[in-house]
């Protein structure tokens, strides 16, 4: 009787053991058959970006911009110099950079600091063909320029929406560093909306750790689908060498500037007609306001948009449309989003009370 009971007991445990083993085997089989293909897929999707590069690279050009620069005076004694020693001497200095074919009409966008002031511009296409180029227009405030060649049917780059970029996205920089030829580097987006860098009047950079060196300026920053996100513009460095911080101008801003240059020969920006200063903690304490952010208006131009809207000296601007105003650069960027004739909403503080008004932007006067 006891033996029978023991047998049933052992048999029960054996059955439980087999069931547990079956569950383990089933889970092992599930892990082996289901999870492994997913892992393969992830590895394969990040294995190469050649398709993206091939798609965009044909739209990236090398640029040789030749500038006339004044030679330094010779240190030789006067009797060893020519008779024209007092006359200034000039030499041609090549400035190497990159550019991107931005539309089907063959217009090429690059940086103002690459071609601005150049006596002659040469474009080298992806296939090695060399073409003379002319400046269509410059925008020093964003460090952008548009040039064109006589050849109009050129392969235009595919354009992404730079507003949808996210920190951590993989990006590729294509350009002509040091004039050695087209080169591709890889990185991620380190930050978006980067301003207060001190490079341009209007700043809204994409920051990346993709290597950008001398000669890359004006080249393309693309996503893994081969679409352009920005124009490579500058690096942050105290030595002139790449340190892992590079900046690109977002393509949404670029296309707006390019469109205006092609249509008008220049960029026409809105103007509010005020001058102001950043609020310091000392100012806030003196006027008895809480610790707020904004810009204190110090001058209002006669018959300008600000005066017509009722803005006064001493007002503090805290918001323009949806832009939070922290300093004078924020005011510049907010106004730059508009065009002459646009109505903007202004919120602020006057005599410790909140107020709001609307202004109609006018064309920014020539400096």
pLDDT in tens, 84-130: 556 667 778 888 999 999 998 989 999 999 999 999 999 999 999 99
Residue 8 pLDDT grade (very low, low, confident, very high; cuts 50, 70, 90): very low
Instruction: Name, in order, each residue with C-beta under 8 angstroms of 141's C-beta and a sequence gap of 6 or more.
Output: 200, 201, 202, 267, 269
At the second CATH level, the architecture of 270-363 is: Roll (2.30)
Alpha carbon 38 to chain centroid, angstroms = 35
At the second CATH level, the architecture of 49-71+89-267 is: Beta Barrel (2.40)
**SS3 (DSSP) at 40:** helix
Which DSSP helix (H) or strand (E) runs through 190?
strand 183-194
* Angstrom distance (rounded) from CA 51 to CA 235: 27
What are the structural domain ranges in the chain?
10-38, 49-71+89-267, 270-363
pLDDT in tens, 188-200: 999 988 777 767 7
Instruction: Name, in order, each residue with C-beta under 8 angstroms of 303's C-beta and a sequence gap of 6 or more.
Output: none
Q: What value does the mean pLDDT take over residues 351-357?
A: 92
As given in the structure block, the two tokens for residue 269 are 């920006």
Residues in the chain: 367
pLDDT in tens, 278-291: 988 888 888 888 77
Q: Do domains 49-71+89-267 and 270-363 have the same CATH topology?
A: no
**Catalytically annotated residues:** 113, 143, 217
More reliable by pLDDT, 340 or 11:
340
* Angstrom distance (rounded) from CA 97 to CA 338: 31
More reliable by pLDDT, 193 or 359:
359
* Angstrom distance (rounded) from CA 29 to CA 21: 12
Helices (H) and strands (E) in the chain, counts: 8, 21
More reliable by pLDDT, 249 or 40:
249
């Amino acid at each position: 009787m006891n033996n029978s009971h023991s047998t049933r007991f052992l048999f029960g445990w054996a059955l439980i053991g087999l069931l547990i083993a079956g569950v383990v085997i089933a889970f092992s089989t599930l892990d082996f058959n289901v999870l492994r293909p997913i892992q393969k897929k992830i590895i394969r999707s990040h294995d190469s970006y050649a398709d993206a590069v091939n798609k965009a690279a044909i739209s990236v050009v090398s640029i040789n911009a030749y500038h006339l620069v004044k030679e330094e005076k010779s240190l030789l004694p006067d009797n060893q110099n020519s008779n024209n020693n007092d006359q200034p001497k000039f030499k041609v200095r090549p400035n190497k950079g990159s550019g991107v074919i931005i539309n089907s009409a063959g217009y090429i966008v690059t940086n103002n600091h690459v071609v601005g002031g150049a006596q002659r511009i040469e474009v080298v296409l992806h296939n090695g063909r060399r073409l003379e180029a002319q400046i269509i227009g410059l925008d020093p405030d964003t460090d952008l320029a548009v040039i064109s060649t006589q050849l109009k049917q050129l392969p235009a780059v595919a354009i992404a929406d730079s507003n949808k970029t996210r920190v951590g996205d993989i990006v590729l920089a294509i350009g002509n560093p040091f004039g050695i030829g087209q080169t591709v580097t890889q990185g991620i987006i380190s930050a978006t909306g980067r301003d207060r860098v001190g490079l341009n009047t209007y700043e809204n950079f994409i920051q990346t750790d993709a290597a950008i060196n001398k000669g890359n300026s004006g080249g393309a920053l693309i996503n893994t689908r081969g679409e352009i996100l920005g124009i490579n513009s500058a690096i942050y460095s105290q030595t002139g060498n790449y340190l892992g911080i590079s900046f690109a101008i977002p393509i949404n801003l670029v296309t707006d500037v390019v469109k205006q240059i092609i249509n008008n020969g220049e960029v026409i920006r809105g103007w509010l007609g005020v001058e102001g200063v950043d609020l310091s903690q000392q100012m806030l304490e003196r006027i008895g306001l809480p610790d707020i952010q904004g810009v204190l208006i110090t001058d209002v131009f006669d018959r300008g948009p600000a005066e017509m809207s009722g803005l006064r000296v001493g007002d503090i601007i805290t918001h323009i449309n949806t832009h939070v105003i922290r300093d004078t650069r924020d005011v510049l960027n907010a106004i730059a989003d508009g065009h002459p004739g646009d109505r903007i909403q202004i919120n602020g503080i006057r005599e410790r009370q909140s107020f709001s008004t609307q202004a109609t932007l006018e064309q920014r006067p020539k400096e």
